[in-house]
Structure 1
Amino acid sequence: MSCSRGNNARTRPQKHQNKTAFKNNLHDTSKKTKFLNSLEVTGVCERCKEIIEWKIKYKKYKPLTAPAKCVACEQRNIKHAYHVMCINCATEKKVCTKCCKSSEAIVDKKTEIVDNETKLQSIIKNLPERKKRTLLRHIKKKENEGNEVTTSDIDTMLVEIGKLELDNDSSEDVNFFDLDD
């Protein structure tokens, strides 16, 4: 038996094995499940992030019904389940909002990426098609080189496109595909 003392070697496979992987939205397409699947876990260390994502993946995550009390400032401003410290106190102390351990690997980079993406999407939405493709091509080229595209890069690209727009008014044979000048 596997539960007897000293017997660590199991000779048979487990009796009931899953044929397919568990899907938390297979039979449940409610708003709550869709919300939980779209939830982004930020402000926590990598280990706590994996724990919370596991809870979401296997329908063990129980969202808060009312804001919880922060252990540092004792205000009721914790909006996410399984967190014990509010975001403001955690950023001041540079700790994880779940385990309160000081960690340099706190997952907040996604918020920067999301901010960049939302800014980029709003900018692209307002550009004409030709300039939109130029900007996307330039971004793709930067990503293929292995460089991250930051907000300053986007701003410089827009300045380049703006210069091209001014040049386009004076002469028609401007090359929109060469932004490396």
Structure 2
Amino acid sequence: MPEKVSTRGSGAKKGPQKYQNEFAYTHNKGSKTTQKIMALPVDGLCRRCTDQVLWRKQYRKYKPLTVAKKCVSCQLKKVKKAYHVMCDGCARDKGVCAKCMESSKIVEGNNQKTSQERLKEEQELEQKLASMRERERRSYLRKLERGDIVVADVPNVGESDDDFVFSDSDDDDGLDSCESDADK
């Protein structure tokens, strides 16, 4: 049998892809599937594979597994993450990427919290916010929105917010210096 021969003669190079993705796909924000896909952790992969999977999520190309796949190392149906070819245990033991099986530096994934842990944290946050004074609550929510603080940094009840501490000595010093300039 003759081998297949390339139809592109004399090593001619292939051009760039026809349609370049110039702007990010906007997900349907109300879609439950999109929310589930975006919540899935991306861990146990090298930098290159992590970027590929994150790109798939961003442009809505990611297709999660419905049934566990067979691991290429242990031959058991233990692969539960899409685009992985090795189960987490085998990949960790061998120190390789679970997608490309290369022994490069593995990117540590975001430690995704379970829904129970998130629910518990939200309830604790609501309790602490309810016990705060209005001024402290608004200040805290503003800082949280700006990203200055993390949800875990909720001040305890009774702690005052240092951003709003006014001292009389600062005001008196400012008046004295203005009066002395005016008197001269």
- Which residue in the other structure is 2:132 paired with? 130
Q: Distance in 2 between matches of 1:29 and 1:41?
A: 22
Report Cα offsets for 1:2-29 as digits up to 9, x if no partner: x997999x9xxx9x77797352646x97
Give the stretch that moved more between structures: 66-75 or 55-64.
Answer: 55-64
Is 1:70 paired with 2:71? yes
**Does the 8 Å CA contact 1:78/1:84 hold for their aligned counterparts?**
yes
- Cα offset, 1:45, TM superposition: 1.6
Distance 1:69 1:54 in 2: 24
Instruction: Please say if residues 78 and 85 of structure 1, whose CA atoms lie closer than 8 Å, have aligned partners that are also in contact.
Output: yes
Aligned to 1:176: 160
Could you tell me whether the CA contact under 8 Å between 1:96 and 1:106 is conserved in 2?
A: no
2:132 is paired with a residue of what secondary structure?
helix
Asked if the contact 2:69/2:78 (under 8 Å) is kept, the reply is: yes
The residue type paired with residue 111 of structure 1 is N
What do the CA deviations read for 1:127-158 (whole angstroms, capped 9, x no partner)?
24418849x58x97xx85xxx97x8xx6xx87
CA contact (8 A) 2:68 2:80 kept: yes
Distance 1:123 1:32, change over 3 A: closer
Look up the match of 1:41. 42
For normalisation by structure 1, the TM-score amounts to 0.52
Tell me the alpha carbon deviations over residues 54-83 of structure 1, each in whole angstroms, 9 at most, x when there is no partner.
223334333323101122333212111110
Cα shift at 1:41: 1.8
Supply the distance in 1 between the matched residues of 2:43 and 2:26 (Cα, whole angstroms).
21
Q: What residue identity is the alignment partner of 2:111?
A: T
8 Å Cα contact 2:25/2:60 also seen in 1: no
When residues 23 and 124 of structure 1 are mapped into structure 2, their CA distance, relative to the original with a 3 A threshold, is same
Task: Tell me if 1:23 matches 2:7.
Answer: no
Q: Partner of 1:50 in structure 2?
A: 51
Question: Percent identity, aligned pairs only?
Answer: 30
Equivalenced residues, count: 144
- 2:50·2:107 contact (CA, 8 Å) conserved in 1? no
Q: CA distance change for structure 1 residues 19 and 77 in 2, over 3 Å: closer, same or farther?
A: closer
CA 124–70 in structure 1, closer or farther in 2 if over 3 Å, else same: same
Cα pair 1:70 1:76 within 8 Å, conserved: yes
Structure 1: gaps spanning 5 or more residues: 165-174
**Correspondence for 1:111:** 111
Secondary structure, aligned partner of 1:70: coil
* Distance in 1 between residues matched to 2:11 and 2:94, nearest whole Å: 45
Distance 1:68 1:35 in 2: 20
Counterpart of 1:99 in structure 2 is 100
Q: Quick one: which amino acid aligns to residue 160 of structure 2?
A: F
The amino acid that maps onto 1:55 is: R
When normalised by structure 2's length, the TM-score is 0.51
Q: Deviations over 1:97-117 (max 9, x none)?
A: 212223334232x116x57x9
